[in-house]
Amino acid sequence: MKNKNKLTYMDTVHRDGTIWNIGMMLLLLAFPFAVWIIFGEGPDWQGLGLGLLATGPMYWAVGVVEVITFIPMLGAGGSYLSFVTGNISNLKLPCAINALENAKVDAKSEEGEVISTIAIAVSSIVTTLIVALGVLLIAVTPISKILEEEALKPAFDQMLPALFGALGVALISKNWKIAIAPIALMLVLFVFVPALNSGMVGIMVPVGVIFTIAFSRLLYKKGII
């Protein structure tokens, strides 16, 4: 007789993901409290309140929208891991999408869940190793002076555009009709609204996703796609 109490793969994903996310949240909150206890210096509550009042609503909105936006693309396991390790839109999301594209599976399938989670885990490990290696090289070699050379600045400025450009070509070529409107929208916004700098990416990505979904639905109803 089949054991009905046996946990499925997805059950363990949600269980472990919840534990690790709550654990990480507690660790992050523990640091300021540890500093407070050790050094006896508490926060400026008035300044903290004013700061949260000014920035909190934006981060709450982005947090809610990112959960709704990223989970269908990353899968459950990949989402739990991404929200713990961070840097989703710049690193984790491109890695997961590329892995899913190469494997030709959907993020919502069991195969997609596994592949997305592995891709994000490997990305996190590689990032940690590279950061550790970079810190070591900066500490023991003059590499920091070389990297700060003015001649290399244009190359570093193009790293993220090159990453997203490569992913964009692969995705846009599959259905260019859907891509026209969101690309045009983002170009118009960033060209004519200078306030939308790189710091606004967290907001503009969900905005672009919602706009693309709405535009794709319109094209579908019109029979264009």
Q: Is the pLDDT of residue 112 over 60?
A: yes
User: Which band of pLDDT confidence, cut at 50, 70 and 90, is reported for residue 196?
Assistant: low
Query: Residue type at 176?
Result: W
Q: Calculate ∠ Cα 103-109-114, nearest 5°.
A: 65
pLDDT at position 63 is 75
Helix (H, G, I), strand (E, B) or coil at 199: helix
Q: Which amino acid is at 219?
A: L
Torsion of CA 121, 127, 130, 132, to 10 degrees: -90
Taking 70 as the threshold, does the pLDDT of residue 2 lie above it? no
Alpha-carbon torsion, ordered 33, 35, 37, 38, to 10 deg: 160
pLDDT at residue 56 tops 50: yes
The pLDDT of residue 5: 66
How buried is 84 (Cβ within 10 angstroms: 0-12 exposed, 13-18 middle, 19+ buried)?
middle
**pLDDT in the model for residue 90:** 75
- The per-residue pLDDT for 1 is 45
How confident is the model at residue 199, as a pLDDT? 60
Q: What percent of the chain has pLDDT over 70?
A: 88
The encoded tokens of residue 164 equal 């997203």
What residue segments make up the domains of the chain, in order of their start? Answer: 175-225
Rounded CA separation 67/61 (Å): 10
Q: Which of 18-22, 51-55, 141-145 has the highest mean pLDDT?
A: 18-22
What does the pLDDT read at residue 160?
Answer: 73
Q: Does residue 47 carry a pLDDT above 60?
A: yes
Residue 206 neighbours by CB distance under 10 Å: 19
- Could you write out the DSSP letters of every residue in 16-43? HHHHHHHHHHHHHHHHHHHHHHHH----
How far CA 212 is from CA of 2, 75, 98, 185, 193, in Å, comes to 45, 20, 20, 10, 20
The answer on pLDDT for 39 being more than 80 is: yes
Q: What is the mean pLDDT of residues 99-110?
A: 82
Residue 149 has pLDDT above 60, yes or no: yes
pLDDT beyond 60 at 143: yes
